[in-house]
Amino acid sequence: MIIPVIDGIQFGPGDPVLYLIIDALSRYPLFGKEMFCRNADELEPFIAQLKQMDIPILAVVSDKEKALVPAIKNALPGVPHQLCQIHYLGNAAKPMEDDLKALGVINNIP
């Protein structure tokens, strides 16, 4: 059984996005792909590769990237999808970032 974590990393404006899928249970990287796209239609076949592994998928974790959410829903119908709590908490704390830095509470929020 696996719990894939799917995320994209873009190192600079205009650079391709490196999409990675890592199993949360084993922490083993399953696969990745560099893409210039950021739309659901092109992400869906990349994500659908998980079904070809013929391993039960307990759930999927990702951030709330606009194209990633529908691509996961279409590629893995019926698989529970959880949004990443680290991204959620980081986004929730952003409005308070300056105040927290001034108080010396945080140095860096992802």
Task: Give the pLDDT score at 60.
Answer: 95
Say whether pLDDT at 8 is over 70. yes
- CATH for 4-84? 3.30.420.10
Q: Are 98 and 89 in contact (CB under 8 A)?
A: no
List the end-to-end C-alpha distance of the chain, in Å, as a whole number: 29
Q: Can you give the chain as a three-state secondary structure string?
A: CECEEEEEEECCCCCCEEEEEEECCCCCEEEEEEECCCCHHHHHHHHHHHHHCCCCECCEEECCCCCHHHHHHHHCCCCCEEECHHHHHHHHHHHHHHHHHHHCCCCCCC
Tell me the pLDDT tens digit for each residue of 76-85: 999 999 887 6
**Can you give the residue ranges of every domain in the chain?**
4-84
Q: Do residues 53 and 47 touch, judged by C-beta distance below 8 A? A: no
pLDDT 10s digits, 41-53: 999 999 999 999 9
By the 10 Å C-beta count (0-12 exposed, 13-18 middle, 19+ buried), 36 is classed as: exposed
